[in-house]
């Protein structure tokens, strides 16, 4: 095999294959090279759905001394009970008759996280020095001494190396949380196959290549850092390794050696119009943590706006010729090739900011070809969405959802961030998308420069008024990422950058810390603790309102007299239940929805059997059971149901 492409753990990119590997594999294959691509992130999650490991964790169900330990055991116990169904659905999309697709995916995700809880693979790093030292320590450790997750990663890497016997290896690092595992993989490769050339690339390498080139774990295991888009550099690198091109003809690579770092001989010349469709061959496209099967694609390189001061990806597009987009015909051809080669007719367009007019023209061509394709987009609240007819046309062409960034409704701040949108348009845009039945998923950003309490409150109230028109993808504080206008000219935005090497991240809010950058303060603005407190307050407010699109219309809530908990619900030992204002309580845990409910024994009683029903003894009890039913914690019943399946 000419090239082994690896996508390391850990990331939240588990809904569908991340696009870097299919794009790179497709490009080098079109030039006649063989490529084997392995998504180690999703493969590792599959391995962590392990019966013996879950059984060991579940042993603490009866003996746990505190609620967190008991809850982890409850997750393991529920996952173990449904493990066959969970694995069948996740790995093959075989129907999940008891759990259903959404619950099966959620339970799989929670079960996998148990094995990662104390693994160094999931550590959030404070600085590069600690990351570097831990990678070196782990690489020198005996495999048998490593934790369960890290041992499994080593096993997956060994299998990939043995299966492909590659002439070269490329590792794509899209998220900062992948960086330490990627360097550990590089060290393991160097120990096992010291002569195989190895390259690191991806978004994080583009952002941090100066710092990475100084790390011992990089200098001792990595031959090159790709600091541009990787298609042409990888193809030319393979040509160089085959003796068909000089190293000076390999663009975008920083070469590492004991003598130092040598810059790339030239910049890539490949244009996006000459890039083919992504090639998913070899990836387990139907085995991702999603209740449906989705693939991704892009319509451009960069962002046609590119000026949001906090966006490293977009800011790279400001140079002349940096932004490139497909023609409608090229984009339509890519969509058709993906559908025809995989049989999957649902695509997510993962541009940083999709040109919706371009996409609509392409999808018209797809429809004219006879294909009906569903799709999602990522974009701003664009002025074109003020046109209800355009929103309706997008929906008719197959658009089901949009991922949108939300930085509030204060025009002063939107202008300071150079977001390029008008807050006055937001209401109409949301109304039009709701009328077209296009789902909106918001990523809400806080810590916006010198935002005042009053401005934050206005932005929060806008969300509360429109809570039935969107779902939430994430909450995050703004991070000063390298490569952004914010870091290049902090004084312009009233920002003072920390001079230390310590990282800034969103560890309190996002999986594995989310975005990583430099610590900063804002002149005249709130400090990070206050900004975090403000954002968490907003999170609670939004969570307390309606549950997003599809929430039940205004109607009286159910007030059942009895409710039979689902088989995955667990009841905590009495010793862990706190005293409530009305006396004793008991606790129910729902591992699927990651919730623990406290019920007063003076209003709700439990059946004697472990899987017995909950019975209301008062009007308040019926109200509480109604809330549990609305939260999908059980099935309403008029009388106690017979025991069907043991459940602790």
- What average pLDDT does the structure give for the chain? 93
| Secondary structure class of 504 (helix, strand, coil) | strand
The pLDDT value recorded for residue 531 is 96
Eight-state DSSP code of residue 578: P
* Phi, psi for 351 (deg, rounded to 5): -55, 155
> Does residue 571 register a pLDDT over 70?
yes
Distance of CA 30 to the CA centre of its chain: 30
Q: Where are the beta strands (DSSP E) in 198-266?
A: 198-201, 224-226, 253-257, 260-262
Half-sphere exposure of 408 (CA within 13 A, CB side): 29
| Summary count for the chain: helices (H), strands (E) | 22, 26
User: DSSP string spanning 7-74?
Assistant: E-S--S--SS--SHHHHHHHHHHHTT--EEEEEHHHHHHHHH--HHHHHHHHGGGTT-SSHHHHHHHH
pLDDT band at 644 (very low <50, low <70, confident <90, very high): very low
> Does residue 468 register a pLDDT over 90?
yes
The pLDDT value recorded for residue 641 is 42
Pick from 165-179, 456-470, 542-556: least confident: 542-556
Pick from 338-347, 369-378, 483-492, 632-641: least confident: 632-641
The pLDDT value recorded for residue 137 is 98
The pLDDT value recorded for residue 556 is 57
C-beta separation of 166 from 4 below 8 A: yes
pTM above 0.75, yes or no: yes
* Phi, psi for 403 (deg, rounded to 5): -95, 125
Q: Which residues of 471-496 are buried (b: 16+ CB within 10 A; e: fewer)?
A: ebbbbbbbbbbbbbbbbeebeebebe
> Does residue 538 register a pLDDT over 80?
yes
> Does residue 554 register a pLDDT over 50?
no
Residues above pLDDT 90, as percent of the chain: 88
Q: Which residues of 267-294 are buried (b: 16+ CB within 10 A; e: fewer)?
A: ebebebeebebbbbebbebebbbbbebb
Q: What is the mean pLDDT of residues 160-178?
A: 98
The pLDDT value recorded for residue 467 is 95
Burial of 575 from C-beta contacts in 10 A (0-12 / 13-18 / 19+): exposed
Q: Which domains does the chain have, with CATH numbers?
A: 3-46+124-272 (no CATH), 48-120 (no CATH), 403-551 (3.30.750.200), 562-636 (no CATH)
Q: Tokens for 637?
A: 């019943």
Q: What is the mean pLDDT of residues 349-374?
A: 96
Between the CA of residue 220 and those of 53, 154, 176, what are the distances in Å?
A: 34, 19, 20
> Does residue 611 register a pLDDT over 90?
no
């Amino acid at each position: 095999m000419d090239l082994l492409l690896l996508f390391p753990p850990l990331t939240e990119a588990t809904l569908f294959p991340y696009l870097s590997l299919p794009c790179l594999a497709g490009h080098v294959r079109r030039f006649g090279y063989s490529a084997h691509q392995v998504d180690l992130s999703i493969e590792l999650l599959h391995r962590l759905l392990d019966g013996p490991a879950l059984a060991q964790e579940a042993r603490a169900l009866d003996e746990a001394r505190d609620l967190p330990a008991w809850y982890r055991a409850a997750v393991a116990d529920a996952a173990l009970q449904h493990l066959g169904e969970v694995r069948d659905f996740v790995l093959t999309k075989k129907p999940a008759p008891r759990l259903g697709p959404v619950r099966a995916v959620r339970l799989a995700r929670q079960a996998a996280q148990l094995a990662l809880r104390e693994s160094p693979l999931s550590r959030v790093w404070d600085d590069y020095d600690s990351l570097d030292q831990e990678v070196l320590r782990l690489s020198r450790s005996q495999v048998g001494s490593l934790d369960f997750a890290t041992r499994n990663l080593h096993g997956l890497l060994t299998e990939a190396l043995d299966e492909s016997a590659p002439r070269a290896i490329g590792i794509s690092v899209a998220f900062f949380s992948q960086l330490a595992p990627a360097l550990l993989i590089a060290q393991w490769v160097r120990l096992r196959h010291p002569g195989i050339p190895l390259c690191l690339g991806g978004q994080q390498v583009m952002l941090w290549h100066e710092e990475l080139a100084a790390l011992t774990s990089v200098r001792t295991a990595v031959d090159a850092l790709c600091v541009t888009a990787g298609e042409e550099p990888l193809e030319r690198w393979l040509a160089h390794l085959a003796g068909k091109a000089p190293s000076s003809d390999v663009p975008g690579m920083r070469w590492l050696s004991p003598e130092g770092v040598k810059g790339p001989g030239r910049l890539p010349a490949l244009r996006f119009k000459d890039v083919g469709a992504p090639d998913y061959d070899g990836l387990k496209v139907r085995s991702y943590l999603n209740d449906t099967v989705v693939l991704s694609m892009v319509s451009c390189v960069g962002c046609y706006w590119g000026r949001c001061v906090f966006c490293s990806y977009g800011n790279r597009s400001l140079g002349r010729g940096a932004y490139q987009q497909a023609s409608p015909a090229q984009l339509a051809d890519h969509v058709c090739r993906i559908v025809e080669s995989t049989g999957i007719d649902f695509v997510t367009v993962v541009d940083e900011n999709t040109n919706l007019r371009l996409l609509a023209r392409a999808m018209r061509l797809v429809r004219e070809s006879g294909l009906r394709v569903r799709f999602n987009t990522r974009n701003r609240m664009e002025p074109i969405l003020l046109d209800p007819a355009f929103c309706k046309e997008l929906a008719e062409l197959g658009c089901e959802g949009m991922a949108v960034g939300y930085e509030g409704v204060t025009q002063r701040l939107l202008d300071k961030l150079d977001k390029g949108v008008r807050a006055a348009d937001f209401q109409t845009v949301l109304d039009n998308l709701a009328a077209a039945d296009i789902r909106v998923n918001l990523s809400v950003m806080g810590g916006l420069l010198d935002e005042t309490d009053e401005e934050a409150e206005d932005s929060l109230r806008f969300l509360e008024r429109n809570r039935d028109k969107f779902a939430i993808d994430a909450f995050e504080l703004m991070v000063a990422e390298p490569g952004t206008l914010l870091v290049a000219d902090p004084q312009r935005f009233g920002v003072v950058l920390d001079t230390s090497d310590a990282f800034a991240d969103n560890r309190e809010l996002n999986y594995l810390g989310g975005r990583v950058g430099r610590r900063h303060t804002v002149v005249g603005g709130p400090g990070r603790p206050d900004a975090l407190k403000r954002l968490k307050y907003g999170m609670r407010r939004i969570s307390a309102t309606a549950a997003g699109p599809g929430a039940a219309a205004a109607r009286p809530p159910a007030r059942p007299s009895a409710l039979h908990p689902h088989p995955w619900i667990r009841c905590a030992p009495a010793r862990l239940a706190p005293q409530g204002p009305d006396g004793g309580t008991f606790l129910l845990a729902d591992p699927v929805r990651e919730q623990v409910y406290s019920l007063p024994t003076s209003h709700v009683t439990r059946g004697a059997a472990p899987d017995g029903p909950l019975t209301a003894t008062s009007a308040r009890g019926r109200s509480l059971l109604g809330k549990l039913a609305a939260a999908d914690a059980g099935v309403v019943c008029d009388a106690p149901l017979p025991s069907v399946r043991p459940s602790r």
